Structure 1
């Protein structure tokens, strides 16, 4: 199995752990605070990975250029926007439908990859992406009332629009991160996907931390004491989140963002495994079918 596949699966597992812990934090602080923890408390670990690669392992630091800064800023801001839109969906009664459309991220990443990087996906890859996206959408709407009429009307609903826009920003951020990381390669003696990913992660998470901290200070200052009070679990979230992001960035340096994002859908399988084995929640037939489609799409990509 290729290196990027193993890295992606590990990152998906860590992201599932981080999401579960963020859900816990959301009980003691607001949505903005729980989102900030992902970046702010992950910052020390992102820099730690970079310092270890540089000082301990002895790998040279890349020299950033204008292309790197452009794509890194676009990616960082796009990810913040995507996360806020996704969280905003929870204020709607039928947020599950909107969430389903946000999961079109791999398909949109493929489109952005074609537009900005000239990356062309094979027919087999496009089919695998489509199968995986359908699987995730089935899971997202499996516990809603489904009919031909509701499916048609949901396409034109406000939640669908917000979900699609969220998926657009997530797809854009993935391609932007890959572009930023690849822009560092010419400044190194030889391509080094670990150093490129670590340097990109360090810059991006610093940018996101500063932007979100400014927002909290100006708009939601009451969140600061809540964040400070929960610093112990927040550090664990930061560590797991930074580790997961490091994995994503490495994988997207090695492989097209759209392809990585399809394999990353295995996170849904980890989520269902946790729900079934830990929380004893049953899975219905649509959810099971969605899981099988995700696995089929991932297997197709690995074998292509």
Structure 2
């Protein structure tokens, strides 16, 4: 089994854990603060991870180039926007459906990967990506209370979720470009450097924004430091996995396999948040799982 597959599955697990912790934070702070903790509290863990990877590999930490920083900046800003929309979405719909809407990302990532990096995917992989999006459509329709596909997709939550997925797709391609622009070092080390640079940029941008626009939110973030640390740890672990996998494999493949997060999300939604899930939503999740299996078999 290629190394990127278990790394991606682990990243999806930690991402689901981070999202669940962020949803709980919405009760003690606003969307901006709940978005920030992912980056601000994750930065120290990312720096520790970078040093550890360099020590284990016995390699010097490479200096990021201007291209690396520019790509990380582009990806970091897109990820901030995507995370903000996703956390906001949790307040409109249940946890599983909120996450599912954002999972239109793989087909958008495939498009941006081709547009920006010139990367193509096999016909079977493209079919798996499209099947995954069909699963998302089923979840959308099942949650809308209508059997009309367009009603489900035209809902406010769907529009926000699809926009979130688009921004996540842009950020993923930008992060792969940033890691590939580092000329030396193993894949895990280049991914760790990219992660540290990105989180540093995101932390500074969000701190400046809150200091200028919402200082009260900074106080709420400070008061929630304990759960914030957990969010940061889970977020850094997820990002380390995503960045490493996307350094090893095309973004479209990684993000399509990452749909397995919905399996973890289903368990979290039902057993942690005690939310109800409809039969059509379950069917959508099953289609996504089948699409993942097809993707794995075709790579």
TM-score, normalisation: structure 1? 0.89
Q: Where does 1:49-198 land on structure 2 (aligned, <5 Å)? A: 49-55=49-55, 57-89=57-89, 102-148=102-148, 151-153=149-151, 155=153, 160-184=158-182, 186=183, 188=184, 192-198=186-192
Contact 1:97-1:154 at 8 Å conserved across structures: no
Q: How many Å separate the matches in 2 of 1:193 and 1:129? A: 25
Q: Which range moved further: 101-110 or 114-123?
A: 101-110
Q: Which range moved further: 194-203 or 14-23?
A: 14-23
Aligned residue in 2 for 1:301: 295
Aligned residue in 2 for 1:249: 243
TM-score, normalisation: structure 2? 0.91
Q: How many Å separate the matches in 2 of 1:219 and 1:175? A: 30
Q: What is the alpha-carbon root mean square deviation over aligned residues?
A: 2.5
* Cα distance change, pair 24–289 in 1 and its aligned pair in 2 (3 A): same
CA offsets 1:70-94 (integer angstroms, 9 cap, x no match) = 2111100111122223344467689
Q: Where does 1:207-226 land on structure 2 (aligned, <5 Å)? A: 207-226=201-220
CA offsets 1:138-175 (integer angstroms, 9 cap, x no match) = 22442321233xx3355556655444332221111010
* Cα distance change, pair 97–283 in 1 and its aligned pair in 2 (3 A): closer
Aligned length: 298
Superposed displacement of residue 67, structure 1: 2.0
Contact 1:46-1:242 at 8 Å conserved across structures: yes
Superposed displacement of residue 288, structure 1: 2.0
* Cα distance change, pair 81–63 in 1 and its aligned pair in 2 (3 A): same
Q: How many Å separate the matches in 1 of 2:207 and 2:65? A: 26
* Cα distance change, pair 14–292 in 1 and its aligned pair in 2 (3 A): same
Name structure 1 gaps, 5 residues minimum. none
